Structure 1
């Protein structure tokens, strides 16, 4: 398997994200909406070069949840180890592939949700009774019939319990594999002290018990099968499996932190190897830290777009409004910025030539939808999302990067312009960096001087609209609706009327703004007078 490029394997995200979902007490790196806006499941699939299910789950959790300093240090340490000794990557991959044969997505839910039930306490009575009658029958024939009766009962109970125990067959195999392969990986990566000797000793005992419970008759030869069934009769007599299951579960529950720590190491090792390949075989850079409200990104590209046009932007002090025609690249640029800054703060790597950022939390409103099942309109969805953003920046001292695509596009132009301008002014007085796209030039007039302006351009040539997808300083005053409908061969009367009405509407709106004296003459409240709901106190 070539780990220098995306693996192309199918992934079941609902299984992969189980570990992240079960990780209580850890803060999310971004909220669910931002995760979907930036299509981070697809980003994960692109950057993931892990070989095991445990590695997949850990890598996904690394992206979703805030890491501890010790986890970051261990990942960096292992990456540096393989950077210095790349010849050991093949051996590490062999260990992981061997482990993967017994790896399962369900180990985390097995340990943390505890959906198993222990064998009932009265099996001890049946086990003791069976031994007593067996011993008594050696001395008196009157014990033989009771022994046969209890043997039949115990056999039925044994196979009933065995069906329940076998539900966790793969989890027991996984725990055994954790122990075996942790020792090999830790030694290879010079991390022998990750687990203490006492922890390893406890894990060894659990591993042996799990190995016993994971045994079955699959692929056995005739002699082995005969021995197996003979042993089954003995085990059924004393209900050994049920007693062993209870003993093993008790040990697992008492030492769950050790098992989790071992599982994490396998995940960290696999993830670190994945990141090694990503950072050495893709075009990208390690980000630099900025202590100020500065984002400087050079030649950034979207990793999922083949032959993507690179773009650069420096945001220092002022926030940003981006204009441009339909399909000109505005939304892709927003996602490119968001994805690269997100990755910079989770895996310490970005798809660009240079990135300088402060520690900042990304939050977005890019993909809004009508929800007929909930009776929610497109515009209501936008309003609710904006309110969530307002709440977050009010309740947190941490800087935020706010990405909004075509702000309030779901309502009429008058309300959209008024509300959008008000929101942008409101954001301007918080500890955040705002990058927003819009088609409304009037919105820009209302926040003039407070937002830097950028645009994406297009040209109409040979009855086709062409885009260069390069961001430029300034404002895009022209639209491309006429060019697009011309390229689709709309009826000429529709094209002519569209052009006529557009001129009338534009002239009317400009006149209204000038008459009201809005442009460059907006009074704003200082932050101390801004309430959490956006209302003045």
Structure 2
């Protein structure tokens, strides 16, 4: 019955938004756990290691991760989170593309794989397994020479009690001693014992995944098969302990009694020590198992994500600019699509809420999705291999004592340092240097944008400064999002238009929103006197 329910569940949820089937607050709280594997990999980052935290937070990549996250196991969830950070690894994204296509085309294989990964699960403590693997050589049981002696003495006391019944009390004493030692070991080395049990479950999951038709052929190589066989043999000895542990946790009386009996003999303790010695030499094999399970879970997530959206595989090549057809933001339920054929670095103007920031985020997010999982929310998308850096979601930091402007300058400085290194970079800036006065803002913004235009950067920046747009004419193209005021209401089309919009609506929007007539008239008068209207 449970098997049929899981099959129904997996079919029903495939291609759907995973956020419909999870508790949002709990998911957000899990990010520090989910990110453990990713944080561990930073030390091994190569030249094209992906996104910094500023960019990730700016464009709400946690929410994008939750949208893609169809995973069934902790390994898959951690691997997906990590891979969404990795840009420039063509081999990785091509593998994901091939594997996702396989699981999309082979429903039985996908459901069987999900069933195995679901058994592996997302237990809260399991998210620390990468750390346990990394420190597996530190698993160590003290007094390991005492346990064999105590075990032998117990069995010897039993024989002695049979031969000489008046000495049977000695076996009772040895039983009590051994039971106390067994309880001590379980309490003293609880973390190690848990890790060993989790390693075994991971190995079993991988063995079962390898039995699925098509999976072995797609993923396996002889070295991995041999590694999996070796670690399976090394950890198989604790199968009985894991089975009893589950039964004991469920409250089964016989299993509790059996646990005490086994404890008296110290058999479990001896097995722990044997397995621990073998695991110390199996670090690479454990990593292979973890990544194997994580890769399959990630591929199924990507297949499900693709199945639920309009998507394309991007063309990532050369030093071209950005060109896209029907691009949209993947988190929007009813998105407005836009075409964009970028020849130069670009300004985006328009009223607040007209779509500037959303469009720029859509470009950045889709570049990231394209470079990491070969999937873009568009009909077509062409762009070069590049980093992505943003400066968008800024606010004063009271605790750090930083003003908005100081924080923005720091964000911009990191961008200048990146492009100075010569790496191709997509730069996305929302309302550049808006934290200072108009005169200095325009002067400083022009200097920064001039500098970026001479570097290997593709720059998208939103601004309300028409003067800045005019001063950069010829070096930066201009695009705008329009809005209209109709019957005291503001209408947005969210469609991108090329050129500079000479129609300004800021004061008309104030009027439509019911501002006092005196305020509106004075605003009109002030605008006429300055000769400029902000948009």
- TM-score of the aligned structures, taking structure 1 as reference length: 0.85
> What's the CA shift for 1:15?
1.7
Aligned length: 502
Paired position in structure 1 for 2:37: 19
CA distance change for structure 1 residues 210 and 378 in 2, over 3 Å: closer, same or farther?
farther
* 1:29-66 deviation line (CA, Å, top 9, x unaligned): 11111111111110111122222222111111111235
* 1:415-473 deviation line (CA, Å, top 9, x unaligned): 10000011111111001111111001111222221011111111111111211111111
Within 2, Cα distance between the matches of 1:451 and 1:225? 74
Paired position in structure 1 for 2:6: none
Paired position in structure 2 for 1:533: none
CA distance change for structure 1 residues 84 and 126 in 2, over 3 Å: closer, same or farther?
closer
Within 1, Cα distance between the matches of 2:309 and 2:322? 22
Runs (5+) with no aligned partner, structure 1? 510-537
> What's the CA shift for 1:503?
2.3
Given candidates 29, 38, 49, the residue that maps to 2:50 is 29
Paired position in structure 2 for 1:523: none
Within 1, Cα distance between the matches of 2:265 and 2:476? 81
Equivalences for residues 385-400 of structure 1 within 5 A: 385-395=411-421, 397-400=422-425
Once the two structures are overlaid, the 10-residue window that deviates more, 139-148 or 13-22, is 139-148
Paired position in structure 2 for 1:232: 263
CA distance change for structure 1 residues 88 and 117 in 2, over 3 Å: closer, same or farther?
closer
CA contact (8 A) 2:154 2:175 kept: no
Paired position in structure 2 for 1:435: 460
* 1:47-88 deviation line (CA, Å, top 9, x unaligned): 222222221111111112358666445433423433543443
Larger helix proportion, structure 1 or 2? 2
Paired position in structure 1 for 2:85: 64
Equivalences for residues 488-527 of structure 1 within 5 A: 488-506=513-531
CA contact (8 A) 2:37 2:82 kept: yes
Within 2, Cα distance between the matches of 1:412 and 1:54? 49
> What's the CA shift for 1:92?
2.8
CA contact (8 A) 1:130 1:147 kept: no
> What's the CA shift for 1:253?
2.8
> What's the CA shift for 1:4?
1.2
Paired position in structure 2 for 1:289: 316
Runs (5+) with no aligned partner, structure 2? 1-8
Within 1, Cα distance between the matches of 2:364 and 2:94? 25
Equivalences for residues 432-471 of structure 1 within 5 A: 432-471=457-496
Paired position in structure 2 for 1:47: 68
Given candidates 170, 173, 184, the residue that maps to 2:208 is 184
Within 1, Cα distance between the matches of 2:320 and 2:52? 22
Equivalences for residues 202-351 of structure 1 within 5 A: 202-214=230-242, 215-216=244-245, 217-219=248-250, 221-235=252-266, 240-316=267-343, 318-351=344-377
Within 2, Cα distance between the matches of 1:202 and 1:383? 55
Residue 109 in structure 1 maps to residue 131 in structure 2: yes
Within 2, Cα distance between the matches of 1:76 and 1:508? 49
> What's the CA shift for 1:389?
0.4
CA distance change for structure 1 residues 448 and 75 in 2, over 3 Å: closer, same or farther?
closer
- TM-score of the aligned structures, taking structure 2 as reference length: 0.85
- SS for the counterpart of 2:322 is strand
Within 1, Cα distance between the matches of 2:88 and 2:149? 51
CA contact (8 A) 1:213 1:245 kept: no
- SS for the counterpart of 1:297 is strand
CA distance change for structure 1 residues 329 and 223 in 2, over 3 Å: closer, same or farther?
closer
